[in-house]
Amino acid sequence: MRPPITYLKSRNMTQDQNPPAESPKRALCESCAGVQQNWRRAPGHAELVQGVNRKEPRPHGQVTVTRYCCDRCGTVWDYENNKVNLHAGWSVVG
């Protein structure tokens, strides 16, 4: 017969009662950091995966907003296709 297995607690292993808070802003990968925000017709990058489209009302009429997510860093983007507003375009969500 084998002797029973006993588990020893290491003296060096302590549980942190106050884990560090996660930063609310996620770090952008190099590709996402290179996207020009708030400028219509600025290009995105190859690792952005297109999500759903939605229509949003604006003073001049409806515009299309498309959601994207970066495959590398997980950043969520919206692209507003608004031909009247030159400062529409890419924006980070959240």
- Give pLDDT tens digits for 41-58: 999 999 999 999 999 999
pLDDT band at 14 (very low <50, low <70, confident <90, very high): low
Considering the domain boundaries, does residue 9 fall inside one? Answer: no
Structural domain count of the chain: 1
Sequence letter at residue 18: N
Beta bridge partners of 78: 67, 91
Considering the domain boundaries, does residue 25 fall inside one? Answer: no
Considering the domain boundaries, does residue 3 fall inside one? Answer: no
> What residues make up the domain containing 68?
39-92
What percentage of residues in the chain have a pLDDT greater than 90?
A: 67
pLDDT band at 23 (very low <50, low <70, confident <90, very high): very low
Considering the domain boundaries, does residue 47 fall inside one? Answer: yes
Considering the domain boundaries, does residue 34 fall inside one? Answer: no
Considering the domain boundaries, does residue 29 fall inside one? Answer: no
Considering the domain boundaries, does residue 62 fall inside one? Answer: yes
Considering the domain boundaries, does residue 12 fall inside one? Answer: no
Closest CA to 48 of 67, 71, 29: 71
What gap in Å lies between CA 1 and CA 44, rounded to an integer?
A: 66
pLDDT band at 18 (very low <50, low <70, confident <90, very high): low
